[in-house]
Amino acid sequence: MATILDKQRYSCPLAGMRTVSAIQRSLPILHSSQGCAEKLFGGGGSSGYFSPHIFPCSALGESEVIFGGTDRLRETIEYAFKVVDADFYVVLSSCVSEIIGDDVVGVVASFEGSEKPLVYASTPGFGGTSYTGHEAVLKAIFSQYLEPAATVEKGLVNVWASVPYQDQYWAGDYEVLGSLLESIGLTPNIIFGYGSSLEKVQRIPAAQFNLLVSPWVGLSGVQLLEERFGTPFLHYPTLPVGAVETTRFLETIGSFAGVDPLKTKQVIDRNEERYYHYIERYADTFLETRVMAKYFTVISDAVQTLAFTRFFTNDLGLLPGKQYVIDETPEEYRDLVRAQFTDLNYGNAAEISFESDGHLIHEQIRAADYHGYPLLIGSSWEKPLADELFAHYLALASPSLERLVVDRSYVGYSGGLRLIEDIYSVVMTRFN
Amino acid sequence: MTINLKVSQVPPREQRLGSVTGYAGDLQDLVSQARCGSLESRDRCFKQTSTCVSCALFGLTTIKDVAVVNHAPAGCSAIGIGVQVMNRQLAARRGTTNNSVIIGTGMDEADTVFGATDSLKEIILQVYERYHPRAIFIGTSCVTGIIGEDIDSVADELSQELPVPVKPVHCEGFRTHIWIGGQDVVGHTVLNTFVKPPKVKTNKINFINFFESARDEIIETFGKFGLEPVFLMVNSTVEELEHLSEAICTTSMCGTLGTYLGNALEQEYGVPYVRTLNPSGVTGYETFLREIGRVTGRSEPIEEHIAEQRELYINQIEELKKKLKGLRVVIGMGPGYALEIARVVDELGMEVVWNTSWHFDTNYDNGEVPPAAAYLADKGLNFGMSVSDQQNYELLNVINTYKPDLYLSRHTGTTVWAIKQGVPALCVADEYMIYGHKRVLEFGQAVLDTINNRSFEVNLARRTKLPYTDWWYQQKPTALLREVTV
């Protein structure tokens, strides 16, 4: 049923085009109206090998709405093969093509045996969110393209985490997660961003296991991989930011993968030593800055809200105000997500709300008592609210339009230090 | 063709202005076909994505303190944040605020079957309670257009219930390939929602533009002529819009942007619409001002201003031309600027080797061929010309074929591709970039700066691969245009 989308933070399933385009040399083909890509792709990092304006599109118009658009789609695919130099093509359906009932599956099937691999995902705008669109694309690739591997490669780990582009830090996050795995002797298979390729996609079934670093997005995908290829998965719900969580992350992965515990411990010791070397040097700043908030609120998707809540509480010793999860977490995953907010250090637990109505979120934040200035981690939507509340505010959540993110990541030991730098760079602009 | 303000849906430009999105040939042929009415759009067998006519909704939110309820699935209304941030920044530059919002209705699958007008009504009432906007615009979408959602009745009903106007805004993405038609929808909606019949005549000029960056300067200059520009629509107030009919004339920084509102104000209220060349470059600026002088009876102070500006800048411009002479340029822009900038390029002694326009209006709403095209054709100029709705593969092929010294873009999204091919590129993003004599100098300098330090594009081009196949680069740029028209 239509519901109010006020201060909207996600878009629609067709935004799954970004997931396709996050795999280097993979090309979405849109069976949609001509303007969807520009509206859905967003601004950041959109001039890679392909850009939204390079995505082939059937540009459905009035006549296709009346007479059907399958001929248009067939022709678009034929010429996409000839004109655009890609390795992998993913046809995405849209509101228009689904309502007019175009047989997209049939068109895609007619290309079977063609030189270039082609799969299809159903991504009508009315069918979910940008999070479910990401999942739809993954499932399409897993079920239509992947073939069982001859052998399982020991130590090879597929990494599934942030939703590309929906999370602005996705590119850096995948790189850092890969480095963390490498540090304990595993071989990360990173599907998205720098260094990705069709070959890496092809290797997915050969992995020893799938690692899902996300509270719920992507769970259906790794389950499908287990079903199809018997690949086990490790579900680690928290994106590790800072020392406490990253150490727990490495221990958990190491133990699941069968890494020698001594090796894992050496890696952890080396990293923690470096991390606390820096924390020690700057602890006086943290302790004696007169205006720093003690209570924080994060308004983001489950990935970020959880990751930052755990970092602020367990690493920095701050206290959680109410936390907001805006990604329309499906009902069946909500208990799982909630549970991650309950086992914080010193018996702390964060109250969380699955709420996407930004107006209501802002009303609740205004009414809350933060015992001083709050630390607000949100999106560009929170800027005026932060001004109003005199909050310390950092736009880390999507959509954030006034901050350029290239390969920055808050993941890992160094990521925690980066986040501290960014927060205190806000805090230090003010004296009380 | 007469503009009909009584209809709810503005006819798309393909029908209203004979606008085309597919053409290949040259300027002389294009203009002569437009003049004799034989110009027809050529379809393509391959298209890449472009832009949606629902940019109308963004246009409406630049008016202060209104609400747009976009009755659509979540993707369409996701533009809300871009609008909010841009409006916040545009208002801050003026030291004011704009509290306009875009709210979505998040239509789901069931809504596509059963419709969702009841939920829509509730959402609109909620939006009114939350924001108390000066007007509420119900934006349509592909989905509402196809399922036949009766937005007009919802608007009528709620207009009775609420103390502010509630109006439908028809901007379904599949209806037209010419997204700037969204600006026609903005004009139509403003006329139907706010504009009142004149009570007095004023010395105000309705100044239709995009982002008013030269506002202060223009207010100062026009003040000397005894004229008061009112910039539209960014930061426009409802009160300003109510009085558009009382202005001494209307003008527009971009012919394709202003045609609907400008001509409709003339048709409905007799406000003269000044439709000359746009004020880019020396000829453009002087022609534009002289026509304003003629229409408003201010020729004398305007001639004085022109003489003064010439005295200050013409010699410097002549010097600059020596440095620019012979540079070969490819232009890729919307039609409101592509041929205006071509004139400036020619004026500065550079050579247009190819011009790609995102669409071409056979005529504007006054029935005339766009002045910039007519001017260049009548001057006897000619160059290769294509009309292509941002078809990036055609543009890269053009750039590869002609290997120009410079690519000039305007609409965002194409500039980077020229530099990836190793061609220096300059984005004429600000509509006032070449406004008036002084900025002609600045523009010339920007061209030289672009060409004289090519480090960025050379560094990048060295390490990037182009996205198209060798096969494609061996074809003619317009090879995938169909012969038959549809």
A3-24 tens-digit pLDDT: 999 999 999 999 999 999 999 9
> Quick check: A299 pLDDT over 70?
yes
- B37 vs B42: CA distance, rounded Å: 15
- B417 vs A49: CA distance, rounded Å: 10
Give the β-pairing of A319-320 and B425-427. unpaired
Structure tokens at A268: 């952890």
The mean pLDDT of B169-176, rounded to a whole number, is 97
The mean pLDDT of A35-59, rounded to a whole number, is 92
The pLDDT value given to residue B1? 60
pTM of the predicted model, to two decimals? 0.97
Interface with A, mutate which of B44, B49, B464 (most A CBs under 10 A)? B49
First to last CA, chain A: 48
Give A292's pLDDT tier (boundaries 50, 70, 90): confident
> Quick check: A432 pLDDT over 90?
no
In terms of Cβ atoms closer than 10 Å to its own Cβ (0-12, 13-18, 19+), residue B209 is buried
- Restricting to B residues 76-95, those with a Cβ less than 8 Å away from any Cβ of A are 76-82, 84-85, 88
Q: In terms of CA atoms, which chain B residue is nearest residue A16? A: B75
- The CA-CA-CA angle for residues A19, B111, A144, to 5°, reads 35
- B122 vs B134: CA distance, rounded Å: 18
pLDDT, one tens digit per residue, over B429-454 is 999 999 999 999 999 999 999 999 99
Q: How remote is the C-alpha of B33 from its chain's centroid? A: 23
The pLDDT value given to residue A293? 77
The mean pLDDT of B66-79, rounded to a whole number, is 97
Q: Looking at domain B55-175, does it have CATH number 3.40.50.1980?
A: yes
CA distance A185 to chain B (A): 31
- A330 vs A279: CA distance, rounded Å: 38
Structure tokens at B293: 């002088």
Assess contact for A21 and B17: CB atoms under 8 A.
no
CB atoms within 10 A of CB B137: 28
Contacts of A95 in chain B (CB under 8 A): 73, 112, 141-143, 146
In terms of Cβ atoms closer than 10 Å to its own Cβ (0-12, 13-18, 19+), residue A291 is middle
Q: Does A213 touch chain B (CB under 8 A)?
A: no
- B438 vs A119: CA distance, rounded Å: 55
pLDDT, one tens digit per residue, over A214-258 is 999 999 999 999 999 999 999 999 999 999 999 999 999 999 999
Q: In terms of CA atoms, which chain A residue is nearest residue B116? A: A2
Q: Which helix (H) or strand (E) holds A7?
A: none
CB atoms within 10 A of CB A338: 17
The pLDDT value given to residue A252? 98
Structure tokens at B203: 């010395």
Fold agreement between B55-175 and B313-485: yes
Assess contact for B195 and B239: CB atoms under 8 A.
no
- Restricting to B residues 257-316, those with a Cβ less than 8 Å away from any Cβ of A are none
DSSP string, A98-116: HHTT--HHHHHHTTTT-SS
B235 three-state secondary structure = coil
CB atoms within 10 A of CB A128: 24
Assess contact for B295 and B206: CB atoms under 8 A.
no
CB atoms within 10 A of CB B219: 16
The pLDDT value given to residue B486? 47
The mean pLDDT of A49-68, rounded to a whole number, is 96
- Restricting to A residues 66-95, those with a Cβ less than 8 Å away from any Cβ of B are 75-76, 79-80, 82-86, 94-95
Give A44's pLDDT tier (boundaries 50, 70, 90): confident
**Across A170-274, where does the E strand assignment appear?**
187-190, 207-212, 233-235
Assess contact for A399 and A379: CB atoms under 8 A.
yes
Structure tokens at A349: 């637990």
Q: Give the list of residues 6+ apart from residue B224 with CB closer than 8 angstroms, or none.
A: B301, B305
Assess contact for B373 and B343: CB atoms under 8 A.
no
- B272 vs B265: CA distance, rounded Å: 8
H, E, C per residue of B413-455: CCHHHHHHCCCCEEECCCCCCCEHHHHHHHHHHHHHHHHHCCH
Q: What is the dihedral of CA B32, B34, B36, B38, to 10 degrees?
A: 110
Mean pLDDT of chain A: 96
CB atoms within 10 A of CB B406: 21
DSSP string, B164-189: S-EEEE---GGG-S-TTHHHHHHHHH
- Report which DSSP code applies to B12: P
Q: How remote is the C-alpha of B306 from its chain's centroid? A: 27
The values of phi and psi at residue B415, to 5°, are: -55, -45
Residue A35 has its nearest CB partner, among B54, B119, B127, at B54
Give A45's pLDDT tier (boundaries 50, 70, 90): confident
The pLDDT value given to residue B168? 98
B412 three-state secondary structure = coil
> Per residue in B302-326, is it b (16+ CB within 10 Å) or e — as a string?
beebbeebeeebeeebeebeeebee
Contacts of A99 in chain B (CB under 8 A): 112, 143, 146-147
Which of A132, A112, A126, A213 minimizes the C-alpha distance to A170?
A: A213
The mean pLDDT of B67-76, rounded to a whole number, is 98
The pLDDT value given to residue A431? 80
For residue A80, how many C-alpha atoms fall within 13 Å in the half-sphere facing its CB? 35
Second CATH level (architecture) for the domain B313-485: 3-Layer(aba) Sandwich (3.40)
- A1 vs A3: CA distance, rounded Å: 6
Tell me the residue type at B175: R
Assess contact for A390 and A429: CB atoms under 8 A.
no
Give A287's pLDDT tier (boundaries 50, 70, 90): confident
For CA atoms A288, A292, A295, A300, the dihedral sign is: negative
pLDDT, one tens digit per residue, over B16-65 is 999 999 999 999 999 999 999 999 999 999 999 999 999 999 999 999 99
Q: Give the list of residues 6+ apart from residue B116 with CB closer than 8 angstroms, or none.
A: A1, A2, B71, B105, B107, B149
The mean pLDDT of A159-185, rounded to a whole number, is 97
> Quick check: A93 pLDDT over 50?
yes
Which domains does chain A possess?
Answer: 13-144 (3.40.50.1980), 153-257 (3.40.50.1980), 281-427 (3.40.50.1980)
> Quick check: B485 pLDDT over 60?
no
- For residue A325, the cross-strand partners are A300, A354
Give percent helix, percent strand, percent coil of chain A, each to the nearest 5: 50, 15, 35
The mean pLDDT of B159-163, rounded to a whole number, is 98
Give the β-pairing of B22-26 and B384-388. antiparallel
Above pLDDT 70, what percent of chain B? 99
Residue with tokens 């002045």: B371
pLDDT, one tens digit per residue, over B81-117 is 999 999 999 999 999 999 999 999 999 999 999 999 9
Name the residue ranges covered by the structural domains of chain B: 55-175, 313-485
Assess contact for A324 and A305: CB atoms under 8 A.
yes
The mean pLDDT of A123-144, rounded to a whole number, is 98
Do B416 and A125 lie within an 8 Å CB cutoff?
Answer: no
- The CA-CA-CA angle for residues A269, A272, A274, to 5°, reads 110
- A293 vs A319: CA distance, rounded Å: 9
Do A380 and B81 lie within an 8 Å CB cutoff?
Answer: yes
> Quick check: B218 pLDDT over 50?
yes
pLDDT, one tens digit per residue, over A346-378 is 999 999 999 999 999 999 999 999 998 899 999
CB atoms within 10 A of CB A262: 8
Do A11 and B78 lie within an 8 Å CB cutoff?
Answer: yes
> Quick check: A423 pLDDT over 90?
yes
First to last CA, chain B: 22
> Per residue in A52-83, is it b (16+ CB within 10 Å) or e — as a string?
bbbbbbbbbbeebbeebbbebbbbbbebbbeb
Q: Does B392 touch chain A (CB under 8 A)?
A: yes
| Greatest CA separation for chain B | 69
- B91 vs A114: CA distance, rounded Å: 54
- Restricting to B residues 170-229, those with a Cβ less than 8 Å away from any Cβ of A are 173-177, 179
Contacts of A83 in chain B (CB under 8 A): 46, 393, 468-469, 471-472, 480
